[in-house]
């Protein structure tokens, strides 16, 4: 199942804004935020230069948001140290992706940013 084009466009707009504003300009040389969209899944990704080759970047998933077409809602997941996603139970499914993004940004349980 893929996200409808209108949903995808809105998600891209919201994620572009978040990724652009979350990291202060003065440290973007050391950390960046990006995302990928595959079918009905959005993955928020933190990028940092490799310690032994500053021209290459490592990528670490921070959060996953999955869109359920039946309920028309986004479900938020956090990423364990082993790379597996776990349901984030502090926020119920949301009709608006922005609410999931805001929860990741606030990170009240220190789940996403440590």
Question: What gap in Å lies between CA 60 and CA 47, rounded to an integer?
Answer: 6
The 10s digit of each residue's pLDDT in 3-62 is 889 989 999 999 999 999 999 999 999 999 999 999 999 999 999 999 999 889 999 999
Q: pTM (2 decimals)?
A: 0.92
Q: Domain map of the chain by residue range?
A: 5-106
Question: What gap in Å lies between CA 108 and CA 101, rounded to an integer?
Answer: 13
Question: What gap in Å lies between CA 93 and CA 17, rounded to an integer?
Answer: 22
Strands (E), 10-104: 32-38, 41-50, 53-68, 73-79, 85-87
Question: What gap in Å lies between CA 16 and CA 112, rounded to an integer?
Answer: 18
């Amino acid at each position: 199942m893929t996200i409808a084009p209108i949903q995808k466009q809105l998600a891209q707009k919201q994620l572009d804004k978040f990724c652009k504003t979350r990291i202060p300009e003065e440290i973007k040389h050391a950390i960046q935020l990006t995302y990928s969209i595959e079918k009905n899944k959005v993955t928020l990704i933190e990028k940092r230069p490799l310690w032994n080759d500053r021209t290459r970047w490592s990528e670490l998933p921070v959060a996953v948001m999955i869109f359920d077409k039946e309920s028309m809602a986004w479900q938020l997941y956090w990423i364990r140290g082993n790379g597996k996603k776990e349901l984030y139970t502090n926020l119920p499914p949301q009709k608006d992706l922005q609410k999931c993004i805001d929860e990741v940004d606030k990170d009240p349980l220190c789940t996403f940013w440590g």
